Chains A and B, each alone.
Chain A
Amino acid sequence: MATTTAPSPTPAPKTNRIGLQVLDYRGGKTTLCAGCGHNAISERIVDAMYEMGVKPERVAKLSGIGCSSKSPAYFMSRSHSFNSVHGRMPSVATGAMLANRNLLALGVSGDGDTASIGVGQFIHLMRRNLPMIYIIEDNGVYGLTKGQFSATADMGSTLKSGVINDLPPIDTCAMAIQLGATFVGRSFSGDKKQLQSMLKAAIAHKGTVMLDVVSPCVTFNDHDGSTKSYKYMKDHEEPLQEVSFVPVFEEIDVEYDPGTTVEVTMHDGSRLRLRKLEEAYDASSRIESVHRLMQAHEKGEVLTGVFYLDTHAPSFIDMLNLTDEPLATLPESVTRPGREVLEEVMKELM
């Protein structure tokens, strides 16, 4: 992604549009396994935030419990972060966004954290269309407790020990679309270009973005018989579109063919371009997107891309008619009504 580096006689470090280097978006050293998909996702987050020129101080990182939920410690140290309770990050994120509507909330969860213990809060988060990015780092197993199946594991997939999963998977994308999320997609930690474009579009969206990112667990779920392994993804990933993103602050250098590409204008004026690989697919239709997802399950494909996008639905902040200033820092003169109010109420009760 091009940046607005000022021309300079001496080579200055590369910076983004707000003058920060990519270093300013880095986090602590990862403690996850070498080769873990989650680390690649952290890198994509760093790149997307850097390239979009998001001020790190504006970002609130939120997570539940699990390997995925540890990862916010490994990117963007200049952002506040809250490693909360297993499966309950959505409520913490909701509270934080209500307290300060100017934050950019980035939630990182896992398939266990979301689809099992947290499925209730996940559902209600999707319903509210809270402005936040919700990423599921989806590997089909519980890593920290050493490799039990999660609820997104496909039927028939096997554990390293040979145990076969008998239960159908929860498709978090189909669920999110049905429940009201306004930007829903699936990607793969190994698909750098697609994931990066989707993350940048997510930053530009005002509403709930739900991204399920298949992220192989190299220790417990990367063997033959796993449907969340690097090899399985290479063989079965079926992208719906070629996803590209043009931020609002960038000149458009390449025109697109309206016959094959859909361009969606995001809230901030940025443009998301979806070059269709399937002629008939329409990402503005809930019915069609859920239908296509169900079809993918029947065919054994791992469908990726932007499944559903609605840039017009009101967000939870709009629905609550919140004042423009963050509630957290409203002064006492605003939050404590005057004496005459108490007198009026008391009189009514006499």
Chain B
Amino acid sequence: MATTDVVPQEASGQLGQKRIVNDMSIQVATVNGSGSQSSNTVLLRSLFKMGIPVSGKNLFPSNIAGLPTWYTIRANKDGYIARKKEIDVLVAMNAETATDDVMSLTPGAAVLYDQPLNLSSLRDDLVFYAVPYDKLVAPVCPEAKLRKLVKNMIYVGVVARLLEIEMAEVENAVAKQFAKKAKAAALNLAAVKAGYEYAASNLTKHDPFVVKRMNKTAGKIIIDGNAAAALGCMFAGVTVVAWYPITPSSSLPESLIDYMKDYRIGKDGKATFAIVQAEDELAAVGMVIGAGWAGARSMTATAGPGISLMAEFTGLAYYAEIPGVIWNIQRVGPSTGLPTRTAQCDVLSTAFLSHGDTKHILLFPSSPAECFSMAQDAFDLAEHFQTLVFVMSDLDLGMNNWMSEPFAYPEKPINRGKVLTKEDLEARGGFARYKDVDGDGIGYRTLPGTDHPAAAYFTRGSGHNEKSGYSERPDDFENNMERINKKFETARSFVPRPEVTGSGKEKIGILAFGTSHWAITESRDQLRNEYKIETDYLRLKAYPFTREVQEFVEQHERVYVVEQNRDSQMASLLKLDLDAKLLTRLRSINHIHGLPLDARSVTDELMSMEGK
């Protein structure tokens, strides 16, 4: 608590107590399957509509119902939306975790708890508010079996009262949440009001946390990264999607199904797309490759274990030079690891996925807006370079709610790459599939079904010559390997460039990617405000690395590579690429506990490595 950045303080009315305005994190501790998601969305939306920057992060178990779940809402006037390490307001709904939840709070935090849990005796440095949920829910919800769900709306009312959230916004949010169910809307609103009224007549505010309307969210949207990615793919002209359910990627194709049904049915009433739930990830990527070979914009979405299963096909696609887009919504380790926790732990395995000498183009979005825009980048790069492109999102980005500027309509026309039509073949008289005509390593291809006697070619792995004839000759193989490598080198100047911020003259550089960005932004302010340390920052957006990456390392004495994995995977990738003399400049800050990265952890670790 003591370590938060500049705390705004104003004199409070009745108690003469300090007020902390628009700077807090609220954590709701509950069990999964209890329906608290609607309540949390209402809270998030109410704050958002009051103009206060917010983020919502769901920490959930791999389970359908009955295990502990935490939902954290951060409201911050300065626009920090990374996870905050400290919890300011705890809503303790889960008897099983209540004691631990309370014991982990920093002094001064507020606790809202279900009266029978009797938590107030646990500590004397917190502010406790008891709420008799069962007593309050009964009169507003006559139907006993619904009470478990409706009970959650009571805490929305209590929190609204205690934090001074505007009730009109809460009512709007409830109406939006239950837009298609008037009865449910009324029932839930009654529960919110019961909580609000209870708090008004029975609870005296002793904690400092309040919110106040501001104007920092006007015109913004709230969306999760997977839905943003789905939208991006739709506007990028995707036509074939094959997928297999795996957390945290499933909501990407599921959102896509919804959007495509709404907006991609042609005038003839027929689908301009095919979305297939495959039997496993091997089949999913096989379909993507078959479709890419036949000319579709094809994609799949998966997570680490699915990526592992796709390894063999990936190698074939690399050597046979077939386009396709794979979204890797990264998460922690195996399916019996922490599959519902976030990580950036597939960087190396994806970069070199498969057999033989393989390396793939990777894109690293850090926001929903980038999930949207990088969708087109990914398809364009895949078709331009005739290769698979991986978009490396993660659970935090994919499944959590993020504030964003509305997405800009894509201005770039779709790039379908070097595809020869019947007319092209007539003009050229034929073609050699794997010949480097243009000096960029990229050959010309034809699509099956092209109505010309010279259109066909035989597709197989690396055992072919320029004309796609079968060959095991060493020189054919070597030429082929070098040409494919040339494509990768060419790609360096086509992939999205990194974003570099700072004066460019500091001694310390920070290098990060993906969702770490939000913690880094806040951490750099902490370093400046608390330690008077200025930093420069490079946010990577793609592999292969562009020249700016080498330059950034050259310009800094020490470069802290921050990543959410144990083995410094991105730092390792950098070490393979950078000049040898620069390698000693890299230091690693790793974060591996499965929760979204927070600024305080980065600041503390960096300062300790700086010897301060």
Q: Please tell me if B27 contacts chain A, counting CB pairs below 8 Å.
A: no
Separation in Å of the B313 CB from the closest CB of chain A? Answer: 6
Residues of B near A93 (CB, < 8 A) are 290
Query: Are B458 and A95 neighbours in the complex by a CB distance under 8 Å?
Result: no
Query: Are A82 and B283 neighbours in the complex by a CB distance under 8 Å?
Result: no
Residues of B near A12 (CB, < 8 A) are none
Within 8 A of A (CB), among B413-462: 413-414, 446-453, 455-461
> Contacting chain A: which of B12-20, B143-151, B261-269?
B261-269
**Interface code A94-110, partner B: CB below 8 Å = 1, 0 otherwise?**
11111110110000000
Contact of A99 among B231, B290, B459 (CB under 8 A): B290
Query: Are B221 and A339 neighbours in the complex by a CB distance under 8 Å?
Result: no
Q: Tell me what chain A mostly uses at the interface: helix, strand, loop, or mixed.
A: helix
Specify which of A72, A102, A328 lies most central, judged by the most chain B CB atoms within 10 Å of its CB. A328
Q: Please tell me if A254 contacts chain B, counting CB pairs below 8 Å.
A: no
Within 8 A of B (CB), among A303-350: 320-324, 326-330, 332, 334-337, 339, 341-342, 345-346, 349-350
Q: Please tell me if B477 contacts chain A, counting CB pairs below 8 Å.
A: no
**Interface code A62-94, partner B: CB below 8 Å = 1, 0 otherwise?**
100000000011000111111111001011111
Residues of A near B263 (CB, < 8 A) are 337, 341
User: What class of interface size applies to chain A in its complex with B?
Assistant: 35 or more
Separation in Å of the B408 CB from the closest CB of chain A? Answer: 9
In the complex, what distance in Å separates the CA atom of A330 from the CA atom of B296? 9
Q: Please tell me if B287 contacts chain A, counting CB pairs below 8 Å.
A: yes
Separation in Å of the A137 CB from the closest CB of chain B? Answer: 18
Query: Are B239 and A88 neighbours in the complex by a CB distance under 8 Å?
Result: no
Q: Which residue on B lies nearest to A77, using beta carbons?
A: B456
Known: A92-B287, A321-B271. A99 touches B296 (CB 8 A): yes
Known: A60-B294, A334-B266, A342-B235. A327 touches B287 (CB 8 A): no
Known: A77-B456, A330-B272, A342-B235. A85 touches B316 (CB 8 A): yes
Query: Are A102 and B288 neighbours in the complex by a CB distance under 8 Å?
Result: no
Residues of B near A56 (CB, < 8 A) are 453, 456
Query: Are A327 and B240 neighbours in the complex by a CB distance under 8 Å?
Result: yes
In the complex, what distance in Å separates the CA atom of A323 from the CA atom of B447? 19
Residues of A near B451 (CB, < 8 A) are 55, 57
In the complex, what distance in Å separates the CA atom of A83 from the CA atom of B271? 30
Query: Are B237 and A85 neighbours in the complex by a CB distance under 8 Å?
Result: no
Within 8 A of A (CB), among B255-288: 259, 263-264, 266, 268-274, 276, 278-280, 282-288
Known: A320-B274, A335-B272. A78 touches B449 (CB 8 A): no
Q: Please tell me if A121 contacts chain B, counting CB pairs below 8 Å.
A: yes
Residues of B near A84 (CB, < 8 A) are 286, 289-290, 316
In the complex, what distance in Å separates the CA atom of A321 from the CA atom of B316? 30
Query: Are B456 and A328 neighbours in the complex by a CB distance under 8 Å?
Result: no
Q: Please tell me if B53 contacts chain A, counting CB pairs below 8 Å.
A: no
Query: Are A81 and B286 neighbours in the complex by a CB distance under 8 Å?
Result: no
Q: Which residue on A lies nearest to B264, using beta carbons?
A: A337
Q: Please tell me if A58 contacts chain B, counting CB pairs below 8 Å.
A: yes
Q: Please tell me if B8 contacts chain A, counting CB pairs below 8 Å.
A: no
Contact of B407 among A96, A120, A342 (CB under 8 A): A342
In the complex, what distance in Å separates the CA atom of A66 from the CA atom of B220? 56
Query: Are A83 and B289 neighbours in the complex by a CB distance under 8 Å?
Result: no
Q: Which residue on B lies nearest to A61, using beta carbons?
A: B458
Query: Are A339 and B450 neighbours in the complex by a CB distance under 8 Å?
Result: no
In the complex, what distance in Å separates the CA atom of A328 from the CA atom of B323? 12
Query: Are B239 and A335 neighbours in the complex by a CB distance under 8 Å?
Result: yes
Known: A329-B447, A335-B272, A336-B410. A85 touches B286 (CB 8 A): yes
In the complex, what distance in Å separates the CA atom of A346 from the CA atom of B414? 22
Q: Please tell me if B25 contacts chain A, counting CB pairs below 8 Å.
A: no
Query: Are A80 and B271 neighbours in the complex by a CB distance under 8 Å?
Result: no
Query: Are B289 and A92 neighbours in the complex by a CB distance under 8 Å?
Result: yes
Q: Please tell me if B537 contacts chain A, counting CB pairs below 8 Å.
A: no
Q: Please tell me if B57 contacts chain A, counting CB pairs below 8 Å.
A: no
In the complex, what distance in Å separates the CA atom of A335 from the CA atom of B453? 29
Q: Please tell me if B292 contacts chain A, counting CB pairs below 8 Å.
A: yes
Query: Are B459 and A81 neighbours in the complex by a CB distance under 8 Å?
Result: yes
Separation in Å of the A317 CB from the closest CB of chain B? Answer: 9
Separation in Å of the A151 CB from the closest CB of chain B? Answer: 18
Residues of B near A85 (CB, < 8 A) are 286, 312-313, 316
**Interface code B212-240, partner A: CB below 8 Å = 1, 0 otherwise?**
00000001111100000001001111111
Q: Which residue on A lies nearest to B469, using beta carbons?
A: A28
Q: Please tell me if B406 contacts chain A, counting CB pairs below 8 Å.
A: yes
Query: Are B268 and A324 neighbours in the complex by a CB distance under 8 Å?
Result: yes
In the complex, what distance in Å separates the CA atom of A317 from the CA atom of B268? 15
Query: Are B447 and A91 neighbours in the complex by a CB distance under 8 Å?
Result: no
Query: Are B271 and A322 neighbours in the complex by a CB distance under 8 Å?
Result: yes
Q: Please tell me if A124 contacts chain B, counting CB pairs below 8 Å.
A: yes
In the complex, what distance in Å separates the CA atom of A95 from the CA atom of B292? 8
Query: Are A94 and B295 neighbours in the complex by a CB distance under 8 Å?
Result: no
Separation in Å of the A255 CB from the closest CB of chain B? Answer: 38
Q: Which residue on B lies nearest to A60, using beta carbons?
A: B448
Q: Which residue on A lies nearest to B295, using beta carbons?
A: A328
Contact of A100 among B238, B295, B460 (CB under 8 A): B295
Known: A57-B451, A320-B271. A350 touches B221 (CB 8 A): yes
Contact of B237 among A94, A322, A336 (CB under 8 A): A336
Query: Are A57 and B449 neighbours in the complex by a CB distance under 8 Å?
Result: yes
In the complex, what distance in Å separates the CA atom of A212 from the CA atom of B407? 53
Query: Are A350 and B414 neighbours in the complex by a CB distance under 8 Å?
Result: no
Residues of A near B541 (CB, < 8 A) are none
Specify which of A91, A121, A123 lies most central, judged by the most chain B CB atoms within 10 Å of its CB. A91
Separation in Å of the A324 CB from the closest CB of chain B? Answer: 7
Separation in Å of the A74 CB from the closest CB of chain B? Answer: 11
**Interface code B176-217, partner A: CB below 8 Å = 1, 0 otherwise?**
000000000000000000000000000000000000000000
Query: Are A98 and B447 neighbours in the complex by a CB distance under 8 Å?
Result: no
Query: Are A100 and B448 neighbours in the complex by a CB distance under 8 Å?
Result: yes
State the 9 A-B residue pairs at the shortest beta-carbon distance, nearest first. Answer: A95-B290, A91-B286, A328-B295, A335-B237, A95-B291, A99-B296, A99-B294, A92-B290, A80-B448
23 A-B pairs within 8 Å (CB atoms) are namely A85-B312, A85-B316, A95-B289, A98-B274, A99-B290, A99-B294, A100-B448, A100-B449, A120-B280, A121-B282, A123-B279, A124-B283, A320-B271, A320-B276, A327-B239, A328-B449, A330-B272, A334-B266, A336-B235, A342-B235, A345-B231, A349-B223, A350-B219
Given contacts A57-B450, A98-B291, A99-B290, 9 further A-B contacts (CB under 8 A): A60-B294, A80-B457, A80-B459, A92-B286, A95-B288, A95-B291, A97-B290, A99-B291, A334-B272
